[in-house]
Amino acid sequence: MPTPTVKLFSKQEHGHLLPAIAALHAACIVHDHTIATFLPPLENSKIQTFWEGIAREVDLGTRFVCILLNESEPGTRAKESELVGVVTLSMPFSETGSFRGFVEKLFVSPTYRGRGGARALMCHMEAEALKRGKTLMLLDTEIGSQAESVYPKLGYTEAGRIPRYGISPVGGLKDEVFYYKHLQ
């Protein structure tokens, strides 16, 4: 049985997985009705282009991406079917906030949930953030989503809520909750 591993995404090593990452993004919108940048009807090319932009940000050093792979043959080129999770950390330029990072796009395949994937991704992401001097993590998620119950278990503290913050994939405006965590 394959053991899932978290890896730091590099375009050279993992660029071929961008279609799988885009498909995972779409699956979470469709399966969970996640508010995640795009609304149905989903266009794969638009989501793919979005992730190609993320990969360019990785090259620029303004973001990094952690991927969760359920590898059948560790040490070989990962197959698209082995991708089961992803999370990104945005690190925009700020002289006054150089220690902040913004957690975005935590997705775990609906068929792989409840196995510690979100925890593994977030722990790896936080370790990588610390290596880059990022000690304050910020994130947000829709109120009532599965993620809302995950983040407090990972040590994130609620900072506040904003009503009618984002458009739901099924219509209507949804409320958002914001979290932070100081890393040590």
DSSP single-letter state for residue 184 = -
CA distances (Å), 180 to each of 33, 42, 133, 154, 184, in order?
24, 30, 16, 11, 13
Q: What does the pLDDT look like over 31-61, one tens digit per residue?
A: 999 999 999 999 999 999 999 999 999 999 9
Average pLDDT over residues 136-156: 96
Half-sphere exposure (Cβ direction) of 88: Cα atoms closer than 13 Å = 20
Confidence (pLDDT) at 61: 96
Q: Convert 101-139 to b/e letters by CB count within 10 Å (16 or more is b).
A: bbbbbbbbbeebbebebbebbbebbbebbeeeebbebbb
Q: What is the pLDDT of residue 103?
A: 98
What is the predicted pLDDT for the residue at 71?
A: 83
Q: What is the largest CA-CA distance in the chain?
A: 47
Instruction: Supply φ then ψ for residue 93, to 5 degrees.
Output: -65, 130
Provide the pLDDT for residue 172.
95
Compute the average pLDDT of residues 20-36.
95
Residue 73: how many other CB atoms lie within 10 Å: 10
The CA distance from 119 to 107, in Å, is: 11
Q: Is 80 exceeded by the pLDDT of residue 2?
A: no
The pLDDT assigned to 82 comes to 93
Q: Could you report the per-residue pLDDT of 98-111, keeping only the tens digit for each?
A: 999 999 999 999 88
Over 80: is that where the pLDDT of 86 sits? yes
Beta strand 136-142 pairing with 100-108: parallel
Q: Per DSSP, what are the bridge partners of residue 69? A: 5, 83
Q: What percent of the chain has pLDDT over 90?
A: 87
> Which uninterrupted H or E stretch holds 176?
strand 173-182
| pLDDT at 184 (0 to 100) | 84
Do residues 31 and 110 make contact, with C-beta atoms less than 8 angstroms apart?
Answer: yes
* Per-residue pLDDT band at 1 (split at 50, 70, 90): low
Query: Could you tell me the residue ranges of all domains in the chain?
Result: 4-182
What is the pLDDT, as a whole number, of residue 72? 81
For residues 42 and 26, the answer to whether their CB atoms sit within 8 Å is yes
Q: Over the chain, what is the mean pLDDT?
A: 95
What is the fold of 4-182?
Answer: Aminopeptidase (3.40.630)
